[in-house]
Structure 1
Amino acid sequence: MNILGKFTAILLLFAFEVSANAGSNFDIIAKLNSGPGNVTVMDNGRIIMSMHPFYQPKYTVVEYKDKMLVPFPNKELVDADSKSQLKLDSVLGIRSANGIVWMLDIGMRSGVTPKLVGWDTKTDKLHQVINLPTPITPKDTFVNDFAVDTRRNHIFISDPAGGVNAALIVVNLNTGTARRVLEGHASVIPENVDLIIDKVPVQIKDKSGKLNRPHIGVNPITEDLNNEWVYFGAMYGHSLYRIKADDLADEKLAAKDLANRVQRYGDKPISDGITIDKDNNIYLGELAENAIGVISSDRKYRRLAESADLSWVDSFSFGPAGQLVAVVNRLHQSATLNGGVLKAKPPFYLIQVKSLAAGLAGR
């Protein structure tokens, strides 16, 4: 029995509400009962979200449809070669392009090998699966966000890993191969800064019960609409960097030469996901201040919105009508980032942001 047939009567329920925030540059589209992870809006308007594994969701990927959240995909994932069923474990990163929804499964719940999964929404079939085994993903990997390069048929993944070994992962969709690059480079490792939100520091409890303040490496990553530059930086860092996509995709370029081609682009706050519009304005969440900001084409940062409702703005995606959608998941109040104590309670938010210019659907 496929997923849709099995779970038709037990769809994920949530309270729906459109809330106008006068002068705040964002509106609440929906109030969710479970914490979202990342979001992508397809070129036909479908909204697909990962549900954050820190909140132990029933479904790892869902579609926002008819004011409900329904499991996505609505069919079992069957590998065309082996004919075996493929299960999604812990999806976080999610993007779409040309009808394909790409899902990055970090495998954290079951300890399985991370993998990149593409689902073809036009044929409703599994499109491609690329496993990311060791040494592409080390033991402390946390493959997170990614950018889809449709010109080169590549995907660029951020992996904060353990901090000092943070790196980017370059996936060639034509060959199904992956490379780990820029590991330990200044552009991907975290700075020695703490994240404090509403006067409470983000803390992780280790196996001995000791509380530690994490410093997280490269996470935000996006590519401009011309598929020329890839922008990225450490989550716990005040710098945004960029590198030419041609250089990242060049398998013959020596590691030292690649590192030398990284450019510091400008200042940024501690942030999670990012996106970019047609005028090269880069949008991000300013986590410490419950805000959304933008780095404009002059490379200067400014805030667009600030509100208690913007408590950990995680992922962004443009839609086909130029609208900018984002999710709010209060991740700092999850047990994982709050010293083992779950403080976050519903509702979580799906929001629409008033962007400065239109962007590309799915990005």
Structure 2
Amino acid sequence: MRTTSLFFALVLAGACLSCGSAPAHAHAHAAQAPPAAQSEHHRADARLQQAARFDHQVTGVTVSETGRIFVNFPRWTEDSPVSVAELMKDGSLRPYPNEPWNAWRNVLRDELDPSDHWVCVQSVVADGRGSVWVVDPAAPPVDGLVPDGPKLVRIDLATDRVAQVVRLGQDVAIPGSYLNDVRFSIDGKHAFLTDAGQRGALVVVELASGKARRVLDGHPSTQPEKGVVVSTDGKPLRYPDGRKVLFAADSIALSSDGAWLYWKALTGHTLYRIQTAALTGKGLAGADVSSHVQAYGKVGPTDGLWIGRGTDTLYVTSIEDSAIKARDLSEGPDGRLRTVLQDPRLRWPDTFSQGPDGSLYVTTSRIQDSAFFTRDAPPALPTQLWRLPRPRD
């Protein structure tokens, strides 16, 4: 998300006044639809269950193989008191892995080491192998990197302790970067990330060594698509100064067999894919892999992608019409995109995860309601986590 430093400074100043003294332990709330949804409640889909409501803007969610749920809150337009948390059964949010890792604040940036604190977390992903990984692009409020802050961190779920920190240096997290989301190879040896920043790219990481490489840097597949305008609430989404949104490589998913990585720019309609072998081979070695990129049909502006466990079903968050949609990847690039669920409460459906019982979870980050785009937005934006039990599409 690009905007002026002055605008962010004003927004952040107001946000800090409201949340700088907030307690580290927060709570989720009972089911309550956001204001925009209450006026259209008759359109709500009974299949969609609210799992939690938060006091702050959420983006990422992940569910471990044992059913533990984790969420994260980026420092975009507010200095959130918690960056990464476990959603407990009683509705409380436990700072994860502990309070010290969550102690960093924008107002304390000169006092705490960004290399071992959450700075501006964008994504949390459980790997199904006993760990949860955290993507920290370290770019609050999406206005420049905090030196030594960008990192990919593994937390051991058995001990709730940080087990590995992959530092993403200036050759990977380049100026203007905003690392967005991550997926892991089937064998657990590699990570694949999207960079949605000023120059889109994919990032390949060899986890054992920590070696990381930018690939498809500036390639058309990782850039905002020319001519695409993202619309919400029936009108183009623009910054207060009139500029349209231009978000690069954002959505990412791995095929069930691990052979293909799918991604797309948020500001774009086209889905792309590449064989993971090309990324872990030629890509990690520094060779050009652009010839391996395949356009794989149109899905519209999306934020999150998810491939159903053991299936060829690709789920997408359709941000323009508050919907979850899906297509069968086995049908090829011309596969039909169908609506699984459309509900006005899904204001900017953001990130997917799937529980061990097959339920699909999705966050609503309400980006169109945030201070990025709405001058009278609250400094702390309430958001939600939703559950769709065992989708059949």
Quote the residue 1:69 is aligned against.
Answer: 93
CA contact (8 A) 1:232 1:240 kept: yes
1:179 aligns with 2:209: no
CA contact (8 A) 1:76 1:85 kept: no
Quote the residue 2:200 is aligned against.
Answer: 166
Secondary structure, counterpart of 1:247 in structure 2: helix
1:116 aligns with 2:132: no
CA contact (8 A) 1:145 1:273 kept: no
1:348 aligns with 2:383: yes
CA contact (8 A) 1:24 1:305 kept: no
CA RMSD, Structure 1 to Structure 2 (Å): 2.8
Secondary structure, counterpart of 2:81 in structure 1: coil
- Alpha-carbon offset, residue 16 of structure 1: 2.2
Mapped partners of 2:32, 2:66: distance in 1: 21
- Alpha-carbon offset, residue 154 of structure 1: 0.6
1:140 aligns with 2:154: no
Distance 1:127 1:251, change over 3 A: farther
1:305 aligns with 2:341: yes
Distance 1:10 1:87, change over 3 A: closer
Mapped partners of 1:44, 1:349: distance in 2: 22
Distance 1:252 1:268, change over 3 A: closer
Quote the residue 1:4 is aligned against.
Answer: none
Q: Which runs of 5+ in 1 are unaligned?
A: 1-6, 78-83, 359-363
CA contact (8 A) 1:146 1:155 kept: yes
1:196 aligns with 2:210: no
CA contact (8 A) 1:118 1:128 kept: yes
- Alpha-carbon offset, residue 294 of structure 1: 0.9
Distance 1:46 1:96, change over 3 A: same
Deviation track 1:15-66 (CA, whole Å, cap 9, x = no partner) reads: 2239999755422122222221100100111100011322421111111102
CA contact (8 A) 2:55 2:383 kept: yes
Aligned length: 340
Deviation track 1:235-276 (CA, whole Å, cap 9, x = no partner) reads: 111111111111111147777751111111221110101111
The range that moved more, 236-245 or 252-261, is 252-261
Relative to its length, the structure with more strand (as a share) is 1
Q: Which runs of 5+ in 2 are unaligned?
A: 1-20, 34-40, 102-113
1:245 aligns with 2:258: no
Distance 1:73 1:254, change over 3 A: closer
Relative to its length, the structure with more helix (as a share) is 2
Distance 1:344 1:194, change over 3 A: farther
Identity of counterpart residues, as a percentage? 28
- Alpha-carbon offset, residue 167 of structure 1: 0.4
**Equivalent position to 2:26, from 6, 9, 12:** 12
CA contact (8 A) 2:282 2:289 kept: no
**Equivalent position to 1:293, from 325, 341, 353:** 325
- Alpha-carbon offset, residue 75 of structure 1: 6.0
Secondary structure, counterpart of 1:171 in structure 2: strand
1:44 aligns with 2:66: yes
CA contact (8 A) 1:40 1:316 kept: yes
CA contact (8 A) 1:196 1:288 kept: yes
1:212 aligns with 2:243: yes
- Alpha-carbon offset, residue 125 of structure 1: 2.1
TM-score (norm 1): 0.85
Quote the residue 1:34 is aligned against.
Answer: 56
Secondary structure, counterpart of 2:125 in structure 1: strand
